[in-house]
Structure 1
């Protein structure tokens, strides 16, 4: 019987079934003999056959002062380097490692593993770092230290190598080090930083701020759905609809409209005494669509906006209302002029996507020296709005990845708007 058991134990593992029942062997075994055979088979399956050159442990693991593993000495902790000097079989038939300090640990791959780089390949992948970045001198295994060249968060780089270790996948940032894939993204991460800055510095009740990166569709904001009086920003949907009519061929830039008294008196018309240079009272003159668009975009002219609204939008008729709602997903009340920074941002994005003459007009206005565009050294197309304590600006900023920036304020200054714009631009430029 003992000889037969010894023969079974010496067979290759793939010939030994670790599940034993009455049909597995041609004779009757005691429970103790079955358990012994099971245990010896598992030991063969889990024991190491050689010394590990880069050992690590999965979890806190006991070491012993004797090779029979009866006298506890200390504890090995994950990712704390240790060295193995010998592999032996103790009196109980267990494989044990002797460590450089003379203690012993069971040589089981359920406890210990060889922490090495499993694979390494050349790649060319554009990646972005996230908020937390730890850079290692090489693909991380136990004992590898951090790089002396840390990588900044929310930055783009070209990964030149990819490596797999026990702790995961690492990418090489040439000149800096190796970063774990959990701290990287395939898409632009800068909008996460924008949200951090807005939340840290501008989370105030009198601000409604909306930012959208056009190419990625990522957004950030503070109170972006809260509505307030939008003043001349409500001219944006009128501009958008006029471009729609131009694109359809319903009107042309040279289409002429008469300046009659009714254009300043219909429901929803702006007060003609507000901003702009056209006569505050009807003068009977003819004005082209192109002239009116220039006056609205560049001078925020109330009368020019009224003329377009009166003739082109049909005094905000059902067709106009449906067109704007289709873009925004909700109504823009042209009478109360209540709107949010998000709604204005979406409207500016729609105008940007039209890519018509209006964008060029919005890029050269009387208001370029203040608010959003004041300190930005890239092209900016924007529409301002002022009334009472409300000061707003809505822009498309033409960086390498254009973004929408819509800032609504109540009881704030132009410089406050500029400060917000500068912080956002510093991240997305």
Structure 2
């Protein structure tokens, strides 16, 4: 009996060893998303995935090695992605000139290299109207899944202002000046007003009828697309760039085209190319913009600021576009 137990133990240990070796030998294009646990450090996580702390910091644009429990980290295969492949050195150098400004920037190439550059790109700030782009992206996802249709209709309800994370009455938008209590609005109309007019009322209706109505799917979407545990008005530049990348890569370009012409054209980031798809946000304390830029070199860019004006955001956009356009031309 004892010999049988020993034999079973040996077979079990051999199997576990084989599985362990096999897993570590695999490489994949798909990233792994790690949630920071209690007492975990950057070094312990790096050791666990057999990567370096510098790689994890580069992949996640971390400014320091300090981690917070519950934080999401993107782990890429070191065999496929080296640090030099991820950081756009020339672009990073250009962004460094703004490091003394109250700005938070994240730029990511949409070309094959997917290189990025960042200044405080993982710092959380109040997003104003920029998080409305998350609602629009989730609508796109639900339509794609067949859960919703662009032709679905909804009526105004006072409850939209009582839900968590709703925008205040008034502010930007056009719905408040219409007969909104008796009108029916299609999902497409609500999404377009949310993006084109940055409409608070339309955004609140999307949050009520789509976000909260499909709460579990919405939370899964935010985790998958930009590694947030749930929809929040506190955002980072990197998170919003990831949402814009999702919209860019989606086969249905409805949401992207809704941003082609808005009430805020030729402002902020919309100064560098004819094909700029922008979502802005601002209050007396913050001034933000996130955009998809298509041209010589396709990329996403998010600039979140406190105090800085439109001219500063536009200057950043021009500097970024110049570097990436030259980068693309040099490859031809």
* Number of residue equivalences: 239
Distance 1:411 1:332, change over 3 A: farther
C-alpha distance in structure 1 between counterparts of 2:317 and 2:238, whole Å = 15
Partner of residue 194, structure 2: 296
Partner of residue 40, structure 2: none
Q: Deviations over 1:184-221 (max 9, x none)?
A: xxx9999321111111x201251100010012111101
Partner of residue 387, structure 1: 283
- Aligned counterpart for 1:218 among listed residues 112, 115, 118: 115
Distance 1:222 1:316, change over 3 A: farther
C-alpha distance in structure 1 between counterparts of 2:86 and 2:184, whole Å = 51
Partner of residue 204, structure 1: 100
C-alpha distance in structure 1 between counterparts of 2:129 and 2:261, whole Å = 17
TM-fit CA distance, 1:268: 1.3
Q: Deviations over 1:27-72 (max 9, x none)?
A: xxxxxxxxxxxxxxxxxxxxxxxxxxxxxxxxxxxxxxxxxxxxxx
TM-fit CA distance, 1:400: 3.2
Partner of residue 39, structure 2: none
- Contact 1:363–1:380 at 8 Å: present in 2 too? yes
- Contact 2:124–2:235 at 8 Å: present in 1 too? yes
- Aligned counterpart for 2:160 among listed residues 227, 244, 263: 263
* SS of equivalent residue, structure 1 residue 211: strand
- Aligned counterpart for 2:127 among listed residues 230, 234, 237: 230
**Largest Rg, 1 or 2:** 1
- Aligned counterpart for 2:205 among listed residues 293, 307, 310: 307
* SS of equivalent residue, structure 1 residue 251: coil
* SS of equivalent residue, structure 1 residue 226: coil
TM-fit CA distance, 1:401: 2.8
TM-fit CA distance, 1:344: 0.8
- Aligned counterpart for 2:261 among listed residues 332, 356, 364: 364
- Aligned counterpart for 1:329 among listed residues 206, 210, 227: 227
- Contact 1:191–1:218 at 8 Å: present in 2 too? yes
* SS of equivalent residue, structure 1 residue 364: coil
- Aligned counterpart for 2:151 among listed residues 241, 249, 254: 254
Aligned: 1:286 with 2:222 = no
Q: What pairs with 1:3-402 in structure 2 (closer than 5 Å)?
A: 191-199=88-96, 201-204=97-100, 206-215=102-111, 216-279=113-176, 283-314=181-212, 317-334=215-232, 337-356=233-252, 357-374=254-271, 376-402=272-298
Q: Deviations over 1:234-269 (max 9, x none)?
A: 111101110011111222111100111112221111
- Contact 1:225–1:340 at 8 Å: present in 2 too? yes
Distance 1:355 1:362, change over 3 A: farther
- Scaled by the length of structure 2, the TM-score of the pair is 0.68
Distance 1:290 1:236, change over 3 A: same
- Contact 2:223–2:229 at 8 Å: present in 1 too? yes
- Aligned counterpart for 2:301 among listed residues 405, 408, 416: 405
C-alpha distance in structure 1 between counterparts of 2:182 and 2:214, whole Å = 22
C-alpha distance in structure 2 between counterparts of 1:316 and 1:420, whole Å = 37
C-alpha distance in structure 1 between counterparts of 2:102 and 2:127, whole Å = 13
Partner of residue 415, structure 1: 311
Gap runs ≥5 in structure 1: 1-186
Q: Deviations over 1:70-105 (max 9, x none)?
A: xxxxxxxxxxxxxxxxxxxxxxxxxxxxxxxxxxxx
* SS of equivalent residue, structure 1 residue 233: coil
Partner of residue 33, structure 1: none
Partner of residue 88, structure 1: none
Q: Which has the higher strand share?
A: 1
TM-fit CA distance, 1:287: 0.4
Q: Which has the higher helix share?
A: 2
When the two chains are superposed, the root-mean-square deviation of aligned CA atoms in Å is 2.0
- Contact 2:226–2:240 at 8 Å: present in 1 too? no
Distance 1:189 1:333, change over 3 A: closer
- Scaled by the length of structure 1, the TM-score of the pair is 0.53
- Contact 1:209–1:221 at 8 Å: present in 2 too? yes
